[in-house]
Each structure stands twice: as C-alpha cells, then as structure tokens.
Amino acid sequence: MITEIIAIYAITDDLLKAIGHQEDRRVQLSDAEVITSALVAARFFGGNHQIAQDYLKEHGLMPQMLSKSRFNRRLHRLFLPLLDLFDGLGMVLKSVNSSTEYLLDSFPVPICDNIRIPQVRLVRCEDYRGYIASKKRYFYGIRVQLLATTDGIPVEFAFLPGEANDVRGLNALPLNLPAHTQIYADAAYTNYQAEDDLEQTDTIRLQVARKRNSKRPDSPALAYIKQTTRHFIETVFSGITAQFPKSIHAVTMDGFLLKVSAFIVAFTLKAAFID
C-alpha cells in the first residue's frame, strides 16, 4: 500500500510539472501532496479525506499534514488543476495507445435515494433526476460520460445532470483523438448527424449499436463486433464504482464532483501504471 501511495505521488508530481502548474513556494504541504491525499482517500479509504490524512501523517509520508479545514480549502482550490492533470494524463495514454479503438458509455452517480430528495442541499433541480434503464429505477444525481481505451483505461470524462441523455453527453466530451479512430457505443448514442460530422471533420468513426428499426442497419458480423467490443466498458464502470462508499459525503456540489473526479483519476492511475 505504501509503495502504491509513493507511486501515486510521483506520477501526480510529474504530471503537475508537465502541465506547467505553479504553486506558492512558502507552502508546507505541496499541491502534489494535497492532490495525492485526495487520490489516496479515493483509492483506499472510500473517499474519506480525514482517514487518509491521518494515515499519511502517522506513517511519516506527509508529516506536515494540514488541519481538516485548511486541507479542504486547499483541495477545493486545486479542483481545476486536478482536471487539468487528468487531461494531461489522458493525452499521454492516448499517445501510447497502440489501438485505434475506444469505448464510450455513461454511468449514474446518485447524490441520494429518491426518498431523500426533499432533504438534499447540494442541488435542487429536476435536471438531476435521471433514469437507470438497466435497473428500471430513477435516481437523483449526475451522469458521468466516460471514454476509455479497449484495455479499460479512462482517457476522457465529463459530468452532466442525471436527466441528460447520452447524445448530449457525446457533445460534452472533447473527443481529442487521432484520425481514423473508432469509438464503440450503445444504441443510446444514436445520432446520425453527429456520426456524419465526426467522420467528415475529425475522421472519427462512431460505431453505435443499431436498433432494430435503424435507418442504417448493420450486417450480422458488424453487429456482433460492436456488441462484444463495447461490453467491456461495464467492467471499467464496476472498477470505478467499487471504490465508492455507500454514500459519497460532500457539503457542496463542487465537493461532490471533486470526490467523483478523484475516484476516476485514482482508478486510471492504478489501471495504467500500477496494476
């Protein structure tokens, strides 16, 4: 565990330097250490920052650990650098990816059960009430759009309200990919205009699973390839959500999104460099 924590810190520090991140030289706890603490909390302690802070301090990994309030303030100021760090990480992973195939899908992250919606203080908007078709139930929270390699390593993600459909999520991702890339997605991403635009402007082929009444039906062979290829994304989602606690504790919506981001980044580092 300690070896993995050291690896997370080393990668985080290198990535911050690579994206040109600047910090105040007077700080006792570096920005890389603050972000590492959040990633360690996501990786080992269900997102509990206080337990992660205590562990890092007690084991001498970060003896200058901040108080809970100061740590939270520093971490919230580093939310955007954390996202920039992931963007830089994604670019590296894309550049070394030997495959031209990627997987696209979304998964829900509930803020609370439906019965507790009236008590929610993070956000009050019907836009966050979504539907999980596989479970045939509604949820109140966000939907994470995620693009991953066929090896199961996330390279792009975006947050949308729970009610947002996947076509809208397709427009939220930068899809900064090499030419002649193929993206496999399920039928929820059906948008013929988006498919044509991607292929004409970015030479990216969106391989969407076709519905029975599709105007662009697939041959049986292509339909089988799409079905078997895209199903691996569910394994990626399982790996990310397995780190989640029963309920993600946050006081603000930014804090909630920050914790979800930390879970995704921690999973990516583990899948790409540590496993």
Give the range of the structural domain holding residue 113, as residue numbers without chain letter.
98-246
Retrieve residue 168's tokens: 């809208």
Say yes or no: 112 and 225 in one domain.
yes
The per-residue pLDDT for range 59-103, each reduced to its tens digit, is 999 999 999 999 999 999 999 999 999 999 999 999 999 889 999
Residues 6 or more apart in contact with residue 202 via CB below 8 angstroms: 175, 177, 179
**pLDDT value at position 45?**
96
Q: Write down the pTM of the prediction.
A: 0.94
Residue 91 lies in a domain: no
Q: Of 21, 42, 77, which residue sits at a domain end? A: 77
Nearest to 163 by CA among 114, 124, 129, 123: 129
For residue 273, being part of any structural domain is answered with no
Same domain, 149 and 60: no
Same domain assignment for residues 38 and 164: no
Structure tokens of 87? 């963007």
Amino acid at 2: I
Kindly give the parts of the chain with pLDDT less than 70: none
Does residue 68 form part of some domain? Answer: yes
Q: What gap in Å lies between CA 157 and CA 124, rounded to an integer? A: 24
Question: 63 and 118: one domain?
Answer: no
β 101-112/129-132 pair status: unpaired
Based on the fold, state whether residues 106 and 238 are members of the same structural domain.
yes
Q: Which two tokens stand for residue 194?
A: 């988006």
Residue 120's pLDDT is: 80
- Is 90 a member of any domain? no
Please check whether residues 192 and 72 belong to one and the same domain: no
Give the pLDDT confidence score for residue 69 in this predicted structure. Answer: 94
The verdict on 26 and 149 lying in the same domain is: no
- Does residue 204 share a domain with residue 113? yes
What's the rounded Cα separation, in Å, for the pair 159 and 106?
10
Number of compact structural domains in the chain: 2
